[in-house]
Structure 1
Amino acid sequence: MSLENVSPSPAVTETAVPELRPLPGESASDESASGKASPGNTSPGDTRPGKAGSGARQGHRYDIDLLRVVCACSVVVGHVGGACMEAVDRSADNGRAVYWTGLFLDSVTSWAVPMYFAIAGWAVLVGAPPRSGRTLRRRSLRMLVPVGIWSAVYLAWGRLRDTNEGPTSKLALEAVFGTVQPAYHLWYFYAHVPLILILGLVMLLKAGQRPWGVVAALVVISAGPTAVSDLTRLTGWDVPRFGWQPGSYALVYAVVGALLLSLPATPRRHRGWWAAGAVAALAAVLWSQDRIHFVIPNASVFVAALSVCVLFAVNGVRIPERIRPLLGKLTDAGLGAFMFHVLVLNAVAPWFVSAGRGGLGAAGAAAALAVVTLVPSFALSMLWGRLRLRRYLG
């Protein structure tokens, strides 16, 4: 995952996510979380709130729920890899075993953020097209409110531990404009919200509506970078960078993802070929991260190839009935776990990651760190979901 992705380094640039089952990728909340039925993978008779079809689609996509959960876990594992890379200052000379452990974990999870964008595109364009501008505002707020709360939590935690890289008031202002320090992983939502507004506006215009509020928001988003730059030049003020931008690559992932996720289920006999393609793409990502640039950009053709192979390998996979309830709970908890996990990771990583570890020691420590981060993150997210705090904490 890139500095556009998600990296444990505070200097991050570039998540599904989410509504009915919130994750950095976009869920289908109010209208529907349903999509094109895949054989054996849907529940046409599901009448739970938010599961009714949006008109053209029938049946809940449990395979997309699976992708959301795996994406959430992959982001955490990728951050564990990033912690390993930071421990050796991103150089194999400072500890080859830890370096290659970190590089592998970051590379093998590099498809997660692009997949979140793909799921976001599918949700807006196919699975649950918005019915009105009000729907888009509600979906945006379900991202913005938790992002605001967690940004404040991370800033307060950093101030308490004296780890903030600047005055807390300055960092808080920068967070409003779109610079995410010290909550570096929240960059995703600064891209996700504009993305769903753009795609949602297209769907509403197609339906004959005129959502002027959405148009106004997009005007502010599109004009923001230039306006901030001009204000800095005219006044000399230190105005924060305006980061509420989806990026062209995110838009492409969303649109292409909507197309690919709406295709019929991948035949079982072909899944092995797509898995083999994913292995080949992973090798290319590893080579690129080691020889060209760490962290690899999400827009890299190697990351795109890996993401497409993973998508086709999982698309339409049948989820057994007995594990669907558990899958649903994990999917619901994904957004909260995504937002919270960096608190745990930053606190406990020094206990596990050490540049001097050997091969087995580095792998074992990384695995232990991933478990110690994942389990409490999902558990606490499930807890505040039961307490009906999902709208505030994700």
Structure 2
Amino acid sequence: MTNESDSLFGSRRMAAQAPTASAPVPDLARNGDLTPNGQSSVSDSADQGSTTETASVRTMSGSSPGTRPRRAHRHDVDVMRVLAGLTVMVGHSGGVLIGCSEEGSDAWWLGHLAEAVNPWAVPMFFMIAGWAVLAGAPPRTEAKMWDRIIRHLVPLAAWSVIFVLGFNLFDTDEVNVRHDLARSFLEAGRPAFHLWYLYAYIPFILVFGTLVLFWKNQRPWKLAALALLLAGSTVWAPFLLGLIGSEQDAWKWGFATYQVAYFVIGAFIIHHAEELRPPIWSLCLLFAASALGVLWWESQKSYPIENANPLIVGLAVSVILLVSRLRLGERTKKVFTRLASASFGAFLCHVFFLELFFERLYDVDTGPILLVAQYLGFLIAMAAASYALSLTWGKLHLRRILG
């Protein structure tokens, strides 16, 4: 099988690679294989970034026929992942200001300004997942696909428990431990409201990963059976809950049409980003116009803006194509690779610091300059604490559990 058949979107052959060259490829678990959120599946040691540090495709003499060339590491995707994680924090902190201030106040407008540049971040997670599954690192075996599912399912379960017990312990939210732990099997909600996307994300990688394996003439029947079981879950799950007399009545395991569009179109745009090169000024204009549109929509029409809103497409596409134009130095590449390995974990834990800093300490009645100073200070503190914590448990080899 040639390298072109590895990707549903065709190859992105590097200029340095000879057309007929081939190279032996180690197991992707040792060669920077990416999970759908772009998280490297190599060991979670402190030098993880250097393991996948590959700026160009290498060829080796004496390689056996039929082997595939090693893919170049996409450092622009690392940057997208880090920016998306940080932008989620920007938006969530803006949402706190909107929720705890009076409409039309300085704090209310500051919150909406933060929210205006934020809505592309979670759709970007779906786009990067699409790129990873369909083009960047498509699964080679059913076992690899199960591994990817578990890498997201275990942290989802772990953080669902951590948030319920932690918020109950610190009394930062009204938490009914038994009710909320049971609910976490069905949907995301406070205090771990931000985990909602994993309830769509995991079914996504299950279904599309299964399709990719069928495309490669494999027969992942167990994955297919689970996908079919999940497809009918909107009918049988509420029926079973009613049958046993459960008070739980929600079921959010599944995905929407707009998420499929982000997944597929985002995969194509990320995969071919180097070839899609509109003028930089046009991308900046697209981002600014989309952000202003989001500001108007959320402040005047409907808050929060729906993820299916076309304005978000403008934000996401402009970010992808702008980031793909960056040329990073070797040190910067290593920094972003390391931060990218911690971005999923930082996303999972940042709500703790959001509640501690913004909801408890922020003074929404102060003057405009102090409002901005508080916002930036707490935002930096939240991001630093979240990434530091994620990097720490990465060094302790706990990524499989904590993300």
TM-score, normalised to structure 2, is 0.82
SS at match of 2:191: coil
The one of 132, 139, 149 aligned to 2:141: 132
Residue 344, structure 1, aligned to residue 357, structure 2: no
SS of corresponding position for 1:43: coil
1:280-335 alpha-carbon deviations (Å, 9 max, x no partner)? 11111111011111100110011112111222222243222121111111011111
2:279 paired residue among 267, 270, 285: 270
Matched, 1:77 2:90: yes
* Paired residue secondary structure (1:229): helix
8 Å CA contact retained: 1:340, 1:377: yes
Match of 1:365? 374
Amino acid of the structure 2 residue aligned with 1:321: E
SS of the residue corresponding to residue 209 of structure 1 reads: coil
Counterparts of 1:36-185 in structure 2 under 5 Å? 42-45=55-58, 55=68, 58-88=71-101, 91-92=103-104, 96-185=105-194
Give 1:322's aligned residue.
331
Equivalent in the alignment of 2:219: 210
Query: How many aligned positions are there?
Result: 356
Say which one has the larger Rg: 2
Once the two structures are TM-superposed, the CA of residue 182 in structure 1 deviates from its matched residue by 1.2
**What's the offset of the Cα at 1:187?**
0.9
- Does 2:326 match 1:280? no
Amino acid at match of 1:87: C
Aligned-pair CA distance for 1:210: 1.4
**How many Å separate the matches in 1 of 2:256 and 2:40?**
22
User: Partners in 1 of 2:293 and 2:377 — Cα distance?
Assistant: 27
Per-residue CA shift, 1:317-366, capped at 9, x if unaligned?
32221211111110111111111111111112245422312221221111
Aligned-pair CA distance for 1:23: 9.0
Structure 2, unmatched stretches of 5+, are: 1-30, 43-53, 61-66
Change (3 A) 1:20 1:342: farther
Shift of 1:367: 0.6
Q: Give the match for residue 41 of structure 2.
A: 29
Shift, 1:21, TM fit: 8.9
2:393 to 368, 377, 384: 384
| Shift, 1:233, TM fit | 5.2
Q: Aligned pair in 2 of structure 1 residues 106, 192: CA closer, same or farther (>3 Å)?
A: same
Contact 2:36 2:130 in 1 (8 A): no
* Paired letter, 2:90: V
Displacement of 1:108 after TM fit? Answer: 0.6
1:245 aligned onto 2:254: yes
Shift of 1:264: 4.6
The structure-2 alpha-carbon separation of the partners of 1:134 and 1:119, relative to structure 1 and needing over 3 Å to count, comes to same
For residue 353 of structure 2, give the secondary structure of its aligned residue in structure 1: helix
Secondary structure of 2:279's partner?
helix
1:126 CA drift (Å): 0.2
Change (3 A) 1:163 1:267: closer
CA displacement 1:19-74 (0-9 Å, x = unmatched): 969898344637xxxxxxxxxx9432499xxxxxx947731110111000111111
Distance in 1 between the 2:293 and 2:312 partners? 9
Between stretches 195-204 and 176-185, larger displacement belongs to 176-185
Secondary structure at the residue paired with 1:242?
coil
What is the one-letter code of the residue matched to 1:76? M
Q: Counterparts of 2:275 and 2:108 in 1: how far apart (Å)?
A: 36
Distance in 2 (CA, whole Å) between partners of 1:182 and 1:221 is: 25
For the Cα contact (< 8 Å) 2:36–2:132, is it kept in 1?
no
- In the TM superposition, residue 239 of structure 1 has moved relative to its aligned partner by 3.1
**Contact between 1:266 and 1:313, CA under 8 Å: does it hold in 2?**
no
What is the TM-score with the length of structure 1 in the denominator? 0.84
Q: What is residue 5 of structure 1 aligned with on the other side?
A: none
Kindly tell me: are residues 316 and 237 of structure 1, through their superposed partners in 2, closer, same or farther at Cα, counting changes over 3 Å? same
Cα offset, 1:266, TM superposition: 5.8
Matched, 1:192 2:205: no
Change over 3 Å in CA distance of 1:280–1:55 after alignment to 2: farther
- Contact 2:37–2:129 (Cα < 8 Å) also in 1: yes
Counterpart amino acid of residue 329 in structure 1: R
Q: Report the Cα distance in structure 2 between the residues aligned to 1:367 and 1:200, rounded to whole angstroms.
A: 40
- Tell me the distance in 2 between the aligned counterparts of 1:288 and 1:277: 16
CA contact (8 A) 1:179 1:240 kept: no
Give CA deviations for 1:230-278 in whole Å, capped at 9, x if unaligned: 3355565323411111211111101001111111516777122111111
Distance in 2, matches of 1:24 and 1:368, equals: 32
